[in-house]
Amino acid sequence: MAASQTTRLSIYTWSAGTDTFTRDQMTTSHSNLETKVAGYNQAGSRPSAAAAYSGFFHYSSTDSTAGALSYCNGNSWFTIGALSAGTPTPLDGSAAAGSAVDGSRSDHKHAIGTDAIGAAQIAATAVGTSELATDAVTTVKILNNNVTVEKMQQVAGHAILARVGSSTANLTQITADTNEVLRRSGSGNLEFGTLVTANIGANQITNTLMADDAIGTAEIAANAIGVSELATDAVTTVKIDDDAVTLAKLAHTSAGYAILAKGDTGAGALAEITASDGDVLRRIGSGLGFGKITSANITDGTIAGIDMANDAITAAKLATNSVGDDALALGAISVYGKDGSAPAGHVIYKGTGAPASASDYAEGDIWLEYTS
């Protein structure tokens, strides 16, 4: 003989004591009993709903008084109703009609009239998500001031809800990046972004509103601040970033060759100093300007022979007695001095006799012999 399973609970049975059975057959039988057989609990208080009470019936009475019968699906208890101590009133008529109060058949039904179910017939919190049809909650169904922040759908990032265009449309999510502000763009739509010229009124950015070194930082959009947005005297020294003033930003000077400099010793602004041909920049007294070099601009002993052009010094440039014997090139000229006094050049000797030796004179010297 072979094993078979019962119709209702699918429990394994065997027709003969010699039939074999397996552990899987026993496990299946136990599992079917666990899942298909209802449990029963009777106590003064109903235990908390849990998976251990899935399929359990509970009767809330321990004596002959009437109690309530309820059923647990593993998550919640559902009250079936209160039962009296006596026999329930028999049903009258067909399955669609009857007068029983304390008990009735499962197919006992009554038609529900139009508008018969009002607020009083609906238990508190009985209408959940599954009871509401799609799009059932319209604007008029929501009480004023009842949509809280917690009820709104969560979004990622920093965002607001707004109608971005001018036409009638639903609100949409607008996200913002770091340092962006909400503005109306040139196309007429609301958006987050950095400020541009069109977002700032004329003469609205004053000196006190600008942070130190603000001009040239990444927080200001390119070309956002124009002439019309800056108030008079708004840009001071501390508002200009280091190395931000390029040559192109400097005002044009007048025609000719010029520099910007402060030409006197007192405090004051830079001024334009122009130069003529051959001028050099030098300080004369307390003033700074272009002009010719004077002796006051040259340190004594600075000009060497290599610095002078050939034939630069003429006779008119020599002071009286300024050229000594040592300055003369003897190979190019013949100079005679008296005996015993000439420091260089040829010597004119005198004596009463001839020179004692040729070593006493040099070629070109003159010897004068006289009688005393």
Q: Does residue 133 lie within any of the structural domains? A: no
pLDDT of residue 106: 56
Confidence of residue 165 (pLDDT cuts 50, 70, 90): confident
Q: Is the same domain home to 341 and 301?
A: no
pLDDT of residue 76: 92
Q: Is the same domain home to 15 and 117?
A: yes
Q: In 10 A of CB 343, how many CB atoms?
A: 8
Q: Does residue 117 lie within any of the structural domains? A: yes
Confidence of residue 339 (pLDDT cuts 50, 70, 90): low
Q: What percent of the chain has pLDDT over 70?
A: 84
pLDDT at 33 over 50: yes
Q: Does residue 152 lie within any of the structural domains? A: no
Q: Is the same domain home to 303 and 324?
A: no
Q: Is the same domain home to 268 and 364?
A: no
Domain extent for 22: 4-126
| Separation between Cα atoms, residue 324 and residue 256, nearest integer Å | 49
Confidence of residue 96 (pLDDT cuts 50, 70, 90): very low
Q: Does residue 223 lie within any of the structural domains? A: no
Q: Does residue 44 lie within any of the structural domains? A: yes
pLDDT digits (tens, 9 = 90+) for 142-159: 889 888 878 877 777 888
pLDDT of residue 330: 61
The number of folded domains in the chain is 3
pLDDT of residue 295: 80
Q: What is the 3-state secondary structure (H, E, C) of 285-313?
A: CCEEEEECCCHHHCCCCCCCHHHCCCCCC
Q: Does residue 277 lie within any of the structural domains? A: yes
Q: Is the same domain home to 19 and 119?
A: yes
pLDDT digits (tens, 9 = 90+) for 227-285: 787 888 888 888 889 998 888 888 776 777 888 887 787 787 888 888 888 888 888 77
pLDDT of residue 333: 64
pLDDT digits (tens, 9 = 90+) for 40-74: 888 888 899 988 888 888 888 888 777 888 999 88
| Separation between Cα atoms, residue 173 and residue 192, nearest integer Å | 11
Q: Is the same domain home to 31 and 90?
A: yes
Amino acid at 148: T
The mean per-residue pLDDT over the stretch 114-129 comes to 85
Q: Is the same domain home to 260 and 351?
A: no
φ/ψ of residue 223, rounded to 5: 65, 20
Q: Is the same domain home to 274 and 329?
A: no
Is 104 or 322 the better-scoring residue by pLDDT? 322
Q: State which of 126, 160, 186 marks the end of a domain.
A: 126
The mean per-residue pLDDT over the stretch 96-108 comes to 51
Is 154 or 336 the better-scoring residue by pLDDT? 154
pLDDT at 98 over 50: no
Q: Does residue 280 lie within any of the structural domains? A: yes
208 closest CA partner among 241, 242, 227, 231: 231
Q: Does residue 81 lie within any of the structural domains? A: yes
Q: Is the same domain home to 63 and 16?
A: yes
Q: Is the same domain home to 321 and 299?
A: no
pLDDT digits (tens, 9 = 90+) for 179-220: 888 888 777 788 888 888 888 888 888 888 888 777 666 667
pLDDT at 90 over 60: no
